[in-house]
Chain A
Amino acid sequence: MISSHDSLRLFLAAADNDDKVRVDGEPRAALEADVVRCCLSRKKEQCSFVDHRDVRLVYRQYAALYIVVGVTDTENELSIYELIHNFVEVLDKYFSRVSELDIMFNLERVHVILDEMIQNGHVVETNKSRVLAPLHALTKMADAS
């Protein structure tokens, strides 16, 4: 997840859970910066898929927030594109109208959500209520105590 907010101050989060983005041996920061530059430089009318070295990046922009997923050529681009949206909708449901701040201040929860949806690069669950089940259980536990 990249935010172009605050004069391009970058903020990377859960996206590295997708092992396809992780490139072994390459300095993480350099890779991230590269990917970010690549996506931010693209204009609205350009398509949402871009080949970057040996991965294809699929990205989607929500106001100042970019969500980028690196995929190999065995993946269906449109389905990933919609998966991103599904993820955002889940966040929206959980945080009730999600904002960038929610994501920033609740990183660990965002991670839980992402883990429920994607596990080392593969879709686990797409059903919103089932994705949120563990977090809701958690809230209940906390309320009870």
Chain B
Amino acid sequence: MPAVSKGDGMRGLAVFISDIRNCKSKEAEIKRINKELANIRSKFKGDKALDGYSKKKYVCKLLFIFLLGHDIDFGHMEAVNLLSSNKYTEKQIGYLFISVLVNSNSELIRLINNAIKNDLSSRNPTFMCLALHCIANVGSREMAEAFASEIPRILVAGDTMDSVKQSAALCLLRLYKTSPDLVLMGEWTSRVVHLLNDQHMGVVTAAISLITCLSQKNPDEFKTCVSLAVSRLSRIVSSASTDLQDYTYYFVPAPWLSCKLLRLLQCYPPPEDGAVKGRLVECLETILNKAQEPPKSKKVQHSNAKNAILFEAISLIIHYDSEPNLLVRACNQLGQFLQHRETNLRYLALESMCTLASSEFSHEAVKTHIETVINALKTERDVSVRQRAADLLYAMCDRSNAKQIVAEMLSYLETADYSIREEMVLKVAILAEKYAVDYSWYVDTILNLIRIAGDYVSEEVWYRVIQIVINRDDVQGYAAKTVFEALQAPACHENMVKVGGYILGEFGNLIAGDPRSSPLVQFNLLHSKFHLCSVPTRALLLSAYIKFINLFPETKATIQEVLRCDSQIRNSDVELQQRAVEYLKLSSIASTDVLATVLEEMPPFPERESSILAKLKKKKGPGAISVTELEDSKREGGELNGGSDRGPDTAAMSASNASTPSPSADLLGIRSAAPINAAPAGAGSLLVDVFSEAGPAAPSTAVNDDGFLRFVCKNNGVLFENQLLQIGIKSEYRQNLGRMYLFYGNKTSVQFASFTTNVSCPGELQLNLNVQTKQVEPLVEGGAQIQQVLNIECLTDFSDAPLLNIKFRYGGALQNLTLKLPVTINKFFQPTEMASHDFFQRWKQLSQPQQEAQKIFKANHSMDTEVLKAKLLGLGTALLDNVDPNPENFVCAGVIQTKSQQVGCLLRLEPNAQAQMYRLTLRCSKDSVSQRLCELLAQQF
């Protein structure tokens, strides 16, 4: 038997545990446990009052059963009873049970709180510690309410024992984290900082966690901790290993405390005071020097503890990013670790070098290790280490080494672990694009990527290569040639077929001179893949075929033959069938001029941030928009698109839409870009008179703006309704572009005649906003609904709203109506996720008085948190959690996209439920935007 005899062993418990251990099977174990549970239940329910010892024993058994992984739903009351025992062991078991098993909203909390209160005032340090531990572990709101004011007092009181101080510090930390509003700053705060000077190392260790957390939230109030932390650190670092006696761990003085001090300093910029800074730099140098000294012990614990401090010091050096000398030394040190035999060190060194690579001072130094890192990528046996190596290669990549790194990453992809392939593919694609000097290299790289890891190449990647090829005419011929060659492989990935179909459809003519890639050869090559492809790819290929007819009239007969066959024209898939029918018709009735216009080369795509980058960011962090949300809006757009204006004249559009076959796919904005860019291109001869040229008309009736404000935080709904007419809105926005669908419903049974609508941008708005639409049909039958699409482009920020004027005859009477269209500046928001630190940094940067707009106003609607959240999300910004120290407050961030510029906006909304008031603060990089958003929003809550 093990040494159970210390203290008072519980025989019953030991027997029970032995029984469990002797169980041969899981079933036997469960049976034994159930028997015990029944026994305990009957004991607890029995008439005989149990003495403290038995209670303790049974509660302990329950705890053991819980730790084996079973749920426990009784015994809480008995545990609470144990709290009031005067015996330490009984009290301790009671607290233990409660810490582990009571969830924070249990109704027992009141009883527990009572017991805690008694123990806190008992002046018995062991009891006080138990109580503080319990508060720290449970940390519920009720506990915070009961003790938040008491604990700071215990923490800083002169006569508190050291061990109690330690518990109190961490207990306060827990309460501050769960209920920051209840922990009020006060006189104690300055004294807490001085705990860094405490004689007792244990107290410093515990207090520093609290101080770090407080400093992160209120950096200014705790600024004094910097110099105290530096001097403490300096004393530890320069001490001989024997000075700190019990706090020396394998010849390393106070390793944990050192790490924490270095971590605390990372909450602040480098010290301004020269003396403090000098002392700190000295410390950092000493730490770096020590790494080079021969170890004082061969034990791994010694080197681990030493290196823990070293890594933390390097983090601080990177955080400051201002001492080139230290940065380079750090880099060299990490370089040594890259070849260390300890896997742990190699892993950490790779990780920490990744951040060093982004500093301008050390980027070059990091690059010198490229061979080692590539070697790590090839030879490390642990996939997580290899992944760090890949991350580092990505971080150290620049124009000078891009070709080498991309080549290495590509060759690694062939054997890479499945779990990291997708991310690797994105990274290769980004690097290839970012550092491409010669775009034929870029095209080669992406095609290789598809060849090697086709399954992991997401839509974004191949959309992007097409975008780039279309935008750069110097590479089009090369791309056509390469993709043609790639398609000749007997088995090629479907993504390759997609790229091939698109590129040959657009630029096949550039290689058609060569008899080996004559038009017919190209077509046959593409068509040989057709039957192996999925529906979306086939749709894309059909579009490529119609483009072939335009490019090469000699292929017309062959292609028409293909389109005409039953498997196309009667295909069970509606999309394929429609395309086959339309393209066949188009090719036979349209003149070559019309065909040429409809199928004109794709116009260049607007330059924008690579969506691959966006995707990678999304993979890394929480996405700005949830995927489902994105898909939903897409689907809506898709349906509406296909609704009314489908016909041969949309071929140009569906050619581009072909690459977004399913509504769920995101096509780099081709969908939103195409109608605006492509339509005017073809408008010359074909779409005559489609765009209304009407100038602004003076509204003849008063403007009705009732509906307007309801749409600030939402995009869909009913804008206007009277007895005759209902006007519904659906709208979607992306970047600086938007599309609004207006639905005019005739509520009567009588026809509306001469129905005309006119959208105008009064005054200055003309310069800010570009709204285009087609005229609607002049007749609206009774009970019918007609639809109008507005394409909106935001050129620069604006304050007014466009006006919609509607005129029609209803039974002879002329109706005239003018509405404000809910196009507001916030519609062009792109949400921006950022961490607390970044938020406050930017908040401070926007500190000029005119950049800020603030309003304090009474609540007009429910102050329910969920409702507020929904509204703020509807606004279009990202709602940031864990940024504001007060969880009641909301902070949001976003960027308004206009054609001419981007405007960064930060928002803070502070509800005061008691007063039923809000304070709203906006800070934007453009003054007028702050003002306008503030006006709009003040009426929303």
Residues of A at under 8 Å CB distance from B?
6, 10-13, 16-17, 19, 28-29, 32, 45-51, 74, 76-79, 81-83, 85-86, 95-96, 99, 101-102, 104-109, 111-112, 115, 119-120, 122-130, 133-135, 137-139, 141-142
Name the residue among A74, A79, A109, A138 with the largest chain B CB count within 10 angstroms. Answer: A79
Contact with A125, one of B64, B166, B311 (Cβ below 8 angstroms):
B166
Name the residue among B2, B21, B163, B348 with the largest chain A CB count within 10 angstroms. Answer: B2
B325 at the A interface (CB under 8 A): no
Inter-subunit contact A50/B384 (CB<8 Å):
yes
A129 contacts across to B, CB distance below 8 A = 246
Instruction: Write the nearest CB–CB distance from B784 to chain A, whole angstroms.
Output: 50
B255 at the A interface (CB under 8 A): yes
Bound-state Cα–Cα, A134 to B201, Å: 18
A-contact bits for B137-162, CB 8 A (1 contact / 0 none): 10100000000000000000000000
A50 contacts across to B, CB distance below 8 A = 384
Inter-subunit contact B381/A45 (CB<8 Å):
yes
Inter-subunit contact B7/A102 (CB<8 Å):
no
15 further A-B pairs in the complex, CB-CB below 8 A; given A85-B301, A134-B126? A79-B305, A95-B3, A96-B3, A104-B17, A105-B2, A105-B14, A108-B63, A119-B136, A119-B171, A120-B136, A120-B137, A122-B209, A126-B205, A129-B246, A139-B7
A135 contacts across to B, CB distance below 8 A = 7
Name the residue among A74, A95, A120 with the largest chain B CB count within 10 angstroms. Answer: A120
Contact with A46, one of B129, B133, B308, B382 (Cβ below 8 angstroms):
B382
Closest residue on chain B to residue A119 by CB atoms: B170
Inter-subunit contact A47/B2 (CB<8 Å):
no
A-contact bits for B307-349, CB 8 A (1 contact / 0 none): 1100110000000000000000000000000000001101110
B347 contacts across to A, CB distance below 8 A = 47, 49
Inter-subunit contact A119/B133 (CB<8 Å):
yes
Closest residue on chain B to residue A94 by CB atoms: B6
Inter-subunit contact A45/B343 (CB<8 Å):
yes
What total of chain B residues lie within 8 Å of the partner, measured CB to CB? 67
Bound-state Cα–Cα, A112 to B68, Å: 18
Inter-subunit contact A12/B67 (CB<8 Å):
yes
Inter-subunit contact B311/A78 (CB<8 Å):
yes
Inter-subunit contact A124/B170 (CB<8 Å):
yes
B96 at the A interface (CB under 8 A): yes
B202 at the A interface (CB under 8 A): yes
Bound-state Cα–Cα, A128 to B7, Å: 19
B247 at the A interface (CB under 8 A): yes
Inter-subunit contact A79/B170 (CB<8 Å):
no
Inter-subunit contact B3/A126 (CB<8 Å):
no
Instruction: Write the nearest CB–CB distance from B155 to chain A, whole angstroms.
Output: 13
Bound-state Cα–Cα, A51 to B230, Å: 32
Known contacts A47-B382, A79-B308, A119-B133, A101 near B2 by CB under 8 Å: yes
Inter-subunit contact A78/B308 (CB<8 Å):
yes
Inter-subunit contact B166/A107 (CB<8 Å):
no
Instruction: Write the nearest CB–CB distance from B586 to chain A, whole angstroms.
Output: 52
Inter-subunit contact B167/A119 (CB<8 Å):
yes
Among residues 66 to 105 in chain B, which have CB atoms less than 8 Å away from a CB atom of chain A? 67-69, 88-89, 92-93, 96, 99-100
A133 contacts across to B, CB distance below 8 A = 163
Known contacts A107-B67, A120-B136, A124-B202, A48 near B344 by CB under 8 Å: yes
B246 contacts across to A, CB distance below 8 A = 127-130
Bound-state Cα–Cα, A11 to B247, Å: 32
B93 contacts across to A, CB distance below 8 A = 108
Selected A-B contacts with CB under 8 Å, 6 pairs: A46-B384, A79-B312, A86-B249, A126-B247, A139-B6, A142-B6
Closest residue on chain A to residue B246 by CB atoms: A127
Inter-subunit contact B2/A46 (CB<8 Å):
no
Instruction: Write the nearest CB–CB distance from A129 to chain B, whole angstroms.
Output: 6
Bound-state Cα–Cα, A77 to B64, Å: 30
Inter-subunit contact B202/A99 (CB<8 Å):
no
B174 at the A interface (CB under 8 A): yes
Known contacts A10-B69, A124-B205, A129-B246, A78 near B170 by CB under 8 Å: no
Inter-subunit contact B206/A124 (CB<8 Å):
yes
Inter-subunit contact A138/B249 (CB<8 Å):
no
A105 contacts across to B, CB distance below 8 A = 2, 4, 13-14, 17
B68 contacts across to A, CB distance below 8 A = 11-12
B465 at the A interface (CB under 8 A): no
Inter-subunit contact B202/A46 (CB<8 Å):
no
Inter-subunit contact B88/A81 (CB<8 Å):
no
Instruction: Write the nearest CB–CB distance from A90 to chain B, whole angstroms.
Output: 12
Inter-subunit contact B139/A120 (CB<8 Å):
yes
Inter-subunit contact A76/B344 (CB<8 Å):
no
Bound-state Cα–Cα, A78 to B100, Å: 27
B412 at the A interface (CB under 8 A): no
Bound-state Cα–Cα, A102 to B6, Å: 11
Instruction: Write the nearest CB–CB distance from A134 to chain B, whole angstroms.
Output: 6
A29 contacts across to B, CB distance below 8 A = 69
Bound-state Cα–Cα, A120 to B134, Å: 10
Bound-state Cα–Cα, A19 to B140, Å: 13
B60 at the A interface (CB under 8 A): yes
B256 at the A interface (CB under 8 A): yes
B480 at the A interface (CB under 8 A): no
Contact with A120, one of B100, B170, B348 (Cβ below 8 angstroms):
B170
Closest residue on chain B to residue A32 by CB atoms: B69
Instruction: Write the nearest CB–CB distance from B835 to chain A, whole angstroms.
Output: 11
B468 at the A interface (CB under 8 A): no
Contact with A12, one of B63, B69, B206, B249 (Cβ below 8 angstroms):
B69
Bound-state Cα–Cα, A47 to B389, Å: 14
A128 contacts across to B, CB distance below 8 A = 246
A78 contacts across to B, CB distance below 8 A = 304-305, 307-308, 311, 344, 348
Contact with B2, one of A77, A81, A99, A122 (Cβ below 8 angstroms):
A99
Known contacts A76-B259, A120-B136, A127-B247, A102 near B67 by CB under 8 Å: no
Bound-state Cα–Cα, A112 to B254, Å: 22
Among residues 183 to 233 in chain B, which have CB atoms less than 8 Å away from a CB atom of chain A? 201-202, 205-206, 209
Closest 9 CB pairs of A and B: A78-B308, A122-B209, A79-B308, A46-B382, A47-B343, A127-B246, A119-B170, A47-B347, A102-B2
Instruction: Write the nearest CB–CB distance from A80 to chain B, whole angstroms.
Output: 9
Instruction: Write the nearest CB–CB distance from A79 to chain B, whole angstroms.
Output: 4
Known contacts A32-B69, A82-B249, A107-B67, A16 near B100 by CB under 8 Å: yes
B259 contacts across to A, CB distance below 8 A = 76, 79
B385 at the A interface (CB under 8 A): yes
Contact with B202, one of A77, A106, A127 (Cβ below 8 angstroms):
A127
Inter-subunit contact A123/B88 (CB<8 Å):
no
Contact with A123, one of B96, B256, B304, B343 (Cβ below 8 angstroms):
B256
Closest residue on chain B to residue A44 by CB atoms: B343
Inter-subunit contact A141/B88 (CB<8 Å):
yes
A-contact bits for B252-275, CB 8 A (1 contact / 0 none): 001111011001000000000000
A13 contacts across to B, CB distance below 8 A = 67
Known contacts A76-B263, A122-B173, A139-B7, A108 near B60 by CB under 8 Å: yes
A104 contacts across to B, CB distance below 8 A = 17, 21
Closest residue on chain A to residue B18 by CB atoms: A105
Bound-state Cα–Cα, A112 to B89, Å: 10
Known contacts A29-B69, A79-B259, A104-B21, A51 near B384 by CB under 8 Å: yes
Inter-subunit contact A83/B348 (CB<8 Å):
no
Contact with B7, one of A12, A47, A130, A138 (Cβ below 8 angstroms):
A138
B8 at the A interface (CB under 8 A): yes
Inter-subunit contact B96/A108 (CB<8 Å):
yes
Bound-state Cα–Cα, A32 to B384, Å: 21
A16 contacts across to B, CB distance below 8 A = 100
B170 contacts across to A, CB distance below 8 A = 119-120, 122, 124
Instruction: Write the nearest CB–CB distance from B640 to chain A, whole angstroms.
Output: 38
A101 contacts across to B, CB distance below 8 A = 2
Known contacts A47-B382, A105-B4, A123-B205, A82 near B348 by CB under 8 Å: no
Instruction: Write the nearest CB–CB distance from A113 to chain B, whole angstroms.
Output: 12
Inter-subunit contact A125/B381 (CB<8 Å):
no
Closest residue on chain B to residue A115 by CB atoms: B133
Bound-state Cα–Cα, A141 to B89, Å: 11
